[in-house]
Structure 1
Amino acid sequence: MRKDVSLFRVGKVWHYRFSIDKKRTQRSTRESAHARAIVVAERAYRAASLQSRCGRVVPTLRELAGLWLAATELTASASHRAGIETFGRLHLGVLAEVRIDQLTTELVESARNEHLQTHAPSSANHWSRKVRLLCRWAMHRGFIVEIPFKVRMLKVQRKPRATLPIDLSRQWLEALDGVASEPVRIAVRLMFGMGLRESEAGSARWEWLDAVRQTYTPGQTKGREADPVPVPGWLMDYLRPLRKPAGLIVSHADGGPFARGFTRVAIKAASARTGIGNITPHRLRGTFATLLSEHGAPVQTIQRVLRHKDVRTTLGYLESDLSHAAHAQARIAEQGGLQ
């Protein structure tokens, strides 16, 4: 342990003491193990040294969320910002007024357990990722020197996710046409036919569509990628009579963009009419990826079309087609004389 920091015990708990610029700091490490207490004390000393050099006040977690939102107003996607805004407003729990240099594994785990009382384990993992994201950003901004906690993700039982069966897609789209406005009908077809995110369908522009090459190059995406996407013939035929020289493909009558989630109600209604499971806007993207995989597209190609930076993200979108397994089981039973 560095000589500038001293440790002493009060009961079973270790406390630390140090001075920086003639300002004395003394706090509890909340640890009874000496080795862990050293780690906490040295982290506190480094954070205090950094604050002294930079003249910055270390924010609370709630304040940090506000700083992140202010700094990313023009760079982060609307969906990403909405998630952090909701997190900072509703889900910080006991951590809201804790300074980020005072966060500990015990505190973060306690807050996560409080979150688990009203939310699913998968939601708790999303919660943990948001805390970590904000703390990583705080490191880059110089508020802290390292993330002051180590919390493992919970093991979550993966549930089967719905995909739109290809043999019911025509029926499903007809049901959608019966409940949705024209802009929503177009947006859903962009999502189903090219794997666009809902936000990308909502920001799609006619000038990004190449009718000669039958490709579409998104100019506004989540990851800032600009790779062309093939446009299937049926979708090109649908768009051709509607085509304009420029402007949003999907818009209100006054030309303004739709708000986030504008396709959800129509998609839910179409799924209910056709008796298909819980199809969401993002599951249309998963359906697109799964259908490409089932029809022989290599995962690297699917990764590029979906514009994922990591192939592991792409693999998470793919669902297994159990009909192949059922067909194999039937052949096994036939060869074995079981049917």
Structure 2
Amino acid sequence: MTTPQPNYYDTPTQPRLLDVVRARMRTQHLSLNTETTYVQWIRRFILFHHKKHPRDMGSPEVEAFLTHLAVDRKVSSSTQNQALSALLFLYREVLAVQLPWLENLTRAKPRERLPVVLSKPEVNRLIEQLSGVNALMARMLYGTGMRILECHRLRIKDVDFDRHEITIRSGKGGKDRVTVLPSSLIPELKSHLLTTRKLHDEDRGKKVPGVEMPDALEKKYPSASTSWGWFWVFPAPDLSVDPRSGIRRRHHVHVVSLQRAIRQAARQAGIAKPATPHTLRHSFATHLLQSGYDIRTVQELLGHKDVATTMIYTHVLNRGGRGVVSPLDN
């Protein structure tokens, strides 16, 4: 038997449902990207059913929405599962409705696709078409195996030049890990940080509020947000308003700029493959395996929970066509 929940559409004094969703996600320290995505899917679900309250809907409505996404909107299985995850969060975490059909809903089976991997010459051609900070970030993605957001959110304190390593905080799944800092990247990165330090000092001189801090650290260590160690390795050139706190402060560079730059660089380099920042991560893993590093080491550097996820890169250990020699070549 379910516990009756307040109808957030009943009176003006009750908080709006989507505001309650946001508040619940923030208490669980979920990322802004996850918050934005989940709220979008919940809103679309409600609008699809003509603004009917989710508490008054059940399995047929959820299945109808997911079918609409797959059949009418032709979304991928991963997008369909993302929408389902948002609805599960709504019912379980916000409405506190435990219904059997939630557990019995079948997730769309994702298609098994091999990752797009660039050869070493292609990586070099791609990076040669980039300049400035975008070139540095691209080299870092390829040289460390970081995800694009992990690179953009990197803090000064997590770069260890002496040990040649980078600590990635709160990566996918909320876990920390350590990856390699390429020796060839150190001079360029140190030079970049000299410019970054000037920007940090300018902000302090102008009394700009400190950078965003994870979880409750801003209250626990009030001065940490203005310290050099917590400053972004790749800060944005301009100040912007924090969408959660409303504070005008220095954020890290936006991921879109690097995504666009890499797409354009791939075209200029004559690379037909659909290259993205994540392609450089795929190439990092593949080239390490080609060089003889064991699968467990690559798994740790990538931050994969299950080695089966890393195993997808072993396809490159064979020659083309799974190592088969074509009869045409004999």
One-letter amino acid matched to 1:275? G
**CA, structure 1 residues 251+65, in 2 after alignment: closer, same or farther (shift >3 Å)?**
same
Shift in Å, 1:213: 0.9
Quote the Cα distance in structure 1 between the aligned partners of 2:87 and 2:18.
7
Shift in Å, 1:118: 4.2
One-letter amino acid matched to 2:31? S
1:77-116 to structure 2, matched below 5 A, reads 77-90=31-44, 93-95=47-49, 97-116=51-70
Q: Are 2:42 and 2:86, in contact at CA under 8 Å, matched by a contact in 1?
A: no
Quote the Cα distance in structure 2 between the aligned partners of 1:96 and 1:213.
58
1:1-339 to structure 2, matched below 5 A, reads 46-47=1-2, 50-51=3-4, 56-57=5-6, 65-73=18-26, 75-90=29-44, 93-95=47-49, 97-123=51-77, 125-136=78-89, 138-140=91-93, 143-146=96-99, 148-149=101-102, 150-177=104-131, 182-244=132-194, 246=228, 247-254=231-238, 256-276=251-271, 277-315=273-311, 318=313, 320-321=315-316, 324-326=319-321, 328-330=323-325, 333=327, 339=330
RMSD of equivalent CA atoms? 3.2
Shift in Å, 1:193: 1.2
Q: Are 2:236 and 2:254, in contact at CA under 8 Å, matched by a contact in 1?
A: no
**CA, structure 1 residues 333+201, in 2 after alignment: closer, same or farther (shift >3 Å)?**
same
Quote the Cα distance in structure 2 between the aligned partners of 1:65 and 1:128.
20
Q: How much identity, in percent, do the aligned residues show?
A: 19
Structure 2 unmatched runs, 5+:
10-15, 198-227, 239-249
Shift in Å, 1:133: 4.3
Shift in Å, 1:315: 4.2
Rg (Cα) greater in structure: 1
Q: Are 1:210 and 1:216, in contact at CA under 8 Å, matched by a contact in 2?
A: yes
Match of 1:41 in 2: none
**CA, structure 1 residues 85+280, in 2 after alignment: closer, same or farther (shift >3 Å)?**
farther
Q: Choose between structure 1 and 2 for higher RCO, CA contacts under 8 A separated by at least 6 residues.
A: 2
**CA, structure 1 residues 224+197, in 2 after alignment: closer, same or farther (shift >3 Å)?**
same
One-letter amino acid matched to 1:302? V
Q: Are 2:41 and 2:87, in contact at CA under 8 Å, matched by a contact in 1?
A: no
Quote the Cα distance in structure 2 between the aligned partners of 1:191 and 1:319.
20
**CA, structure 1 residues 216+300, in 2 after alignment: closer, same or farther (shift >3 Å)?**
same
Match of 1:3 in 2: none
Partner secondary structure for residue 265 of structure 1: helix
Deviation per residue, 1:152-182 (Å, 9 max, x gap): 23345444442222222111100123xxxx2
Shift in Å, 1:278: 0.8
One-letter amino acid matched to 1:164? L
The count of aligned residue pairs is 276
Using the size of structure 1 for normalisation, the TM-score is 0.69
**CA, structure 1 residues 327+83, in 2 after alignment: closer, same or farther (shift >3 Å)?**
closer
One-letter amino acid matched to 2:181? V
Q: Are 1:173 and 1:270, in contact at CA under 8 Å, matched by a contact in 2?
A: yes
Quote the Cα distance in structure 2 between the aligned partners of 1:313 and 1:96.
40
Quote the Cα distance in structure 2 between the aligned partners of 1:190 and 1:68.
36
Using the size of structure 2 for normalisation, the TM-score is 0.70
**Dislocated runs of 4+, deviation >6 Å:** none
Quote the Cα distance in structure 1 between the aligned partners of 2:101 and 2:322.
52
Match of 1:9 in 2: none
Shift in Å, 1:66: 4.2
**CA, structure 1 residues 151+327, in 2 after alignment: closer, same or farther (shift >3 Å)?**
closer
